[in-house]
Chains A and B, each alone.
Chain A
Amino acid sequence: MNVIEIDRLTKYYGKARGIIDVSFNVEEGEIFGFIGPNGAGKSTTIRILLALIYPTGGNARIFGRDCIQDGADIRKDIGYLPSEVFYYENMKVIDLLKYSASFYAGTDLHRMHELAEIMDLELHRRIDDLSYGNKKKVGIVQGLLHNPRLIILDEPTGGLDPLMQHKFFQLIQEENRKGVTVLFSSHILSEVQKICTRVGIIKDGRMVRVEAIDTLEHDNYKKFKVDLDEPVPDHYFDLPGISDLKISEQTVSFIFKGDINHIIARLYPCQVANLLVEEPSLEEIFLHYYEKEA
Chain B
Amino acid sequence: MNIYRQENRMNLPAMLYWTLGMLLGLLFFMLMFPAISKDAVVITEVTKQFPPAVIRALGLNTLDLSTVLGFYSYVFVFILLVGAIYALKSGISTLSEEIRAKTADFLVSKPVRRTEIAAAKALSVVTLILLQTIIYVPLAFVVTKLTTQQDFDGRIFLAINLTLMLLQLFFVALGLLLAVVIKRIRNVLSIALGTVFALWVVQMLNQTLADPALAYLTPFAYFDLAGIIASGGYQANYLVADIILIITFAALAGFIYQRQDMPSV
Contacts and interface: CB of A to CB of B under 8 A. Distances in A.
B10 to A, nearest CB: 7
B106 A51 contact: no
A interface bracket (residues with beta carbon within 8 Å of B): 20 to 34
Interface string B142-157: 0000000000000000
B113 A84 contact: no
B261 interface: yes
Interface string A72-103: 11111010101111111110000000011011
A53 interface: yes
Contacts of A80: 105, 109
- Chain B, interface SS category: loop
Interface string A6-39: 0000000100000000000000000000000000
Interface in B92-106: 97, 101-106
Nearest to B97: A88
B interface bracket (residues with beta carbon within 8 Å of A): 20 to 34
Given A52-B262, A54-B259, A99-B6, A87 B106 contact: yes
A153 interface: no
B108 interface: yes
Contacts of B111: 72-76, 103-104
B231 interface: no
Looking at B111, B259, B261, the one whose CB has the most chain A CB atoms below 10 A away is B111
Contacts of B110: 75, 100, 103
B2 interface: yes
In order of increasing CB-CB distance, the 4 nearest A-B pairs are A82-B105, A86-B102, A102-B2, A53-B261
A59 interface: no
A39 B53 CA distance: 60
A142 interface: yes
A88 B10 contact: yes
